[in-house]
């Protein structure tokens, strides 16, 4: 069977195009050799499981260690019964070992132990019986509820000093977040509600979704502080069932980076070597730009292209194919993107993304909230400095998710902006936009989810109706003071800069907006564009008086249509 690009579950190099794990984990081998206990974190679908499975196989095959990736998520259904969670976890470990290890490396029978000590007893028995140093990767730590997670962490703390003879030589705690940095939420006592009706909720961290809801993201419970080697409770965990300090270990946190441009080319090159189908260099550049090397997105684009858009291996893959795959991926709303978008309405996420969309600056946002958005994969730190949305695909998915309800709320709009030949008529589009805003703009704006960028969202919802699945490129970031849009429809291009005249601003932002639009148009190679100014001042004239469009000339001599609303 020919290999293919994988988007579901861990990679098997026999079936899937796969990059070597070691290059993305340059320090992990050294830390394992040093008998370190390590926190290993990365967003969903970043390749954690694939990389650690490969490393475990490699370590075991070398003959110096017994290494295995073990799941913890089987303990999730037992939020108030850590003892039962331990039994479920140990049963899953037994099955995993049977599947991955040869008979002579199987763990011994788990010893009897009271609840709260079962995992430590099992790990001790295994380390003592093993003929090799034991290296374990404990996966999905943050899938566990607080009481179970803290019980496991405390058992690890208790066994740590006895390693490697009586406890694992090295241990890696794997999850979405760094357990050293996550505040400790409070856990309701079991007596507060019947178990059948109680829904656990992390009270100490604002904005977390509850289990069972789309995008539930359980908060990790303890904050390791490297400077003190201790775990401190979060400010919210002050009394009642506030969680204590379960670990005092010298530990290190590492993350899994995305693919580089060279690695994307190497992955695509495996497909070329086996099928003869070539990814043109510009197509590889475009794929890397759109995904920023996120493994799932890279594989998803490549799979769509090679299996659906260009199945003929004799046809080379171009940037147009990559762009079409991007559009299909966004329209399809795969679970990978949907999971990220499910967090957009959490207050701690909105506090970061709303000013980013508006081009403003972050307000009062905690370091943990910034790290939360980073760990979700919604944002990244730009190498040049500053927080930004992770990739152009995520940037587009984010806006589409926020405008979805607005788009669904739009009334029927006759496509008066189309010529008889189906081309985009920009003058007719301008008239349609003004008419739309006159009748529907304010009601839709008032109901938008992010008030600071409500007019932006309504305008983009309208433009989505116009382009009907064609391309809208967006640029927004902290500190830009604007949002830029580029609508491409057939042979027509409309470049738009959106500015807001906010209550605290005394001067009209028009001059600044013209300079910014000049720079945007220069980058696109265009000599015309639209500048949209939304007036949000309480003293602004009524919409009926201020709404309109007028031609003006920019400082760079470009023809600009100024739209005030």
Which tokens is 78 given? 């037992």
Q: Supply the pLDDT for residue 231.
A: 31
The pLDDT tens digits for 406-438 are 888 888 888 999 999 989 999 999 999 999 999
In sequence order, the β-bridge partners of residue 305 are none
Residue 4, number of CB atoms within 10 A of its CB: 17
Q: How far apart are CA 62 and CA 55, in angstroms?
A: 11
> Exposed/middle/buried for 392, CB within 10 Å: 0-12, 13-18, 19+?
middle
CATH of 22-188+208-255, one of 1.10.260, 1.10.287, 3.40.50, 3.30.70: 3.40.50
For 181, the token pair is 């940095």
Domain ranges for the chain:
22-188+208-255, 261-332, 338-564
Spans of the chain, pLDDT less than 50? 181-245
Residue 30 CB neighbours (<10 A): 10
DSSP string, 58-73: HHHHHTS-EEEEEE-G
- Provide the CATH topology of domain 261-332: Helicase, Ruva Protein; domain 3 (1.10.8)
446-481: b or e for each residue (b if 16 or more CB lie within 10 Å)?
Answer: eebbbebbbbbbbbbbbbbbbbeeeebebbbbbeeb
* Per-residue pLDDT, 102: 95
Centroid of chain to Cα 272:
29
pLDDT digits (tens, 9 = 90+) for 194-253: 333 333 333 333 332 233 333 333 333 333 333 223 333 333 333 333 334 455 565 678
Distance CA(464)–CA(483), nearest Å, equals 16
Domains 22-188+208-255 and 261-332 agree in fold: no
Of the candidates 209, 203, 202, which has an alpha carbon nearest to the alpha carbon of residue 342? 209
Phi, psi dihedral angles at 458 (to 5 degrees):
-65, -45
Q: Which residues contact 314 (CB under 8 A, 6 or more apart)?
A: 276, 277
Q: Per-residue pLDDT tens for 453-504?
A: 999 999 999 998 898 766 788 888 888 889 999 998 888 899 999 999 999 9
Q: What per-residue confidence (pLDDT) applies to 180?
A: 52
For residue 339, what are its two tokens? 């999971």
Q: Please report, for residues 441, 466, 497, 498, 500, the alpha-carbon distance to residue 459 in angstroms, rounded to integers and kept in the order given.
A: 8, 11, 12, 10, 13
What integer pLDDT is reported at residue 469 of this predicted model? 64
């Amino acid at each position: 069977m020919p290999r293919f690009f994988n988007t579901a579950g861990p990679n098997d190099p026999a079936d899937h195009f796969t990059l070597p794990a070691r290059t993305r984990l340059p320090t992990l081998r050294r830390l394992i050799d040093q008998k370190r206990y390590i926190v290993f974190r990365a967003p969903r679908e970043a390749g954690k499981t694939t990389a650690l499975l490969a490393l475990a196989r490699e370590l075991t095959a070398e003959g110096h260690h017994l290494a295995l990736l073990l799941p913890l998520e089987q303990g999730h259904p037992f939020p108030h019964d850590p003892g039962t969670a331990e039994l479920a976890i140990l049963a899953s470990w037994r099955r995993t070992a049977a599947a991955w290890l040869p008979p002579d490396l199987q763990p011994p029978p788990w010893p009897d132990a009271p609840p709260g000590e079962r995992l430590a007893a099992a790990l001790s028995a295994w380390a003592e019986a093993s003929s090799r140093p034991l290296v374990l990767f404990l996966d999905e730590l943050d899938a566990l509820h607080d009481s179970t997670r803290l019980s496991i962490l405390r058992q690890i703390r208790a066994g740590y000093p006895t390693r490697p003879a009586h406890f694992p030589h090295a241990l890696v705690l794997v999850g979405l977040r760094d357990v050293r940095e996550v505040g400790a939420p409070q856990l309701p006592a079991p007596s507060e509600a019947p178990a059948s009706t109680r829904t656990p909720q992390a009270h100490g961290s604002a904005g977390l979704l509850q289990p069972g809801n789309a995008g539930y993201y359980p908060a990790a419970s303890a904050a390791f502080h490297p400077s003190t080697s201790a775990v401190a409770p979060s400010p919210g965990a002050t009394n009642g069932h506030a969680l204590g300090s379960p670990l005092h270990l010298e530990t290190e946190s590492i993350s899994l980076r995305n693919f580089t441009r060279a690695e994307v080319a190497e992955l695509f090159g495996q497909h070329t070597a086996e099928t003869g189908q070539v990814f043109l260099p510009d197509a590889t550049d475009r794929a890397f730009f759109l995904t920023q090397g996120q493994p799932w997105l890279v594989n998803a684009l490549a799979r769509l292209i090679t299996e659906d858009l260009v199945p003929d291996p004799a046809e080379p893959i171009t940037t147009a194919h990559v762009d079409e795959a991007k559009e299909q991926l966004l329209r399809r709303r795969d679970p990978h993107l949907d999971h990220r978008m499910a967090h957009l309405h959490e207050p701690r996420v909105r506090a970061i993304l709303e000013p980013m969309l508006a081009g403003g600056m972050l307000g009062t946002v905690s370091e943990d909230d910034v790290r939360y958005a980073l760990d979700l994969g919604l944002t990244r730190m730009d190498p040049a400095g500053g927080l930004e949305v992770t990739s152009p695909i995520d940037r587009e998915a984010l806006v589409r998710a926020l405008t979805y309800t607005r788009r669904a709320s739009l009334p029927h709009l006759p496509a008066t902006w189309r010529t008889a030949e189906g081309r985009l008529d920009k003058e007719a589009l301008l008239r349609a936009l003004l008419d739309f805003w006159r009748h529907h703009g304010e009601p839709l704006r008032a109901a938008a989810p992010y008030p600071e960028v409500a007019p932006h969202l309504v305008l983009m919802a309208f433009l989505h109706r116009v382009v009907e699945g064609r391309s809208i490129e967006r640029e927004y970031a902290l500190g830009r003071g604007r949002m830029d849009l580029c609508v491409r429809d057939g042979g027509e291009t409309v470049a738009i800069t959106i500015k807001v005249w906010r209550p605290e601003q005394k001067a009209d932002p028009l001059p600044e907006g013209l300079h910014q639009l000049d720079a945007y148009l220069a980058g696109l190679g265009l000599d015309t564009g639209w500048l949209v100014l939304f007036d949000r001042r309480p003293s602004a004239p009524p919409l009926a008086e201020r709404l309109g469009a007028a031609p003006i000339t920019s400082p760079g001599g470009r023809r600009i249509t100024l739209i005030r609303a």
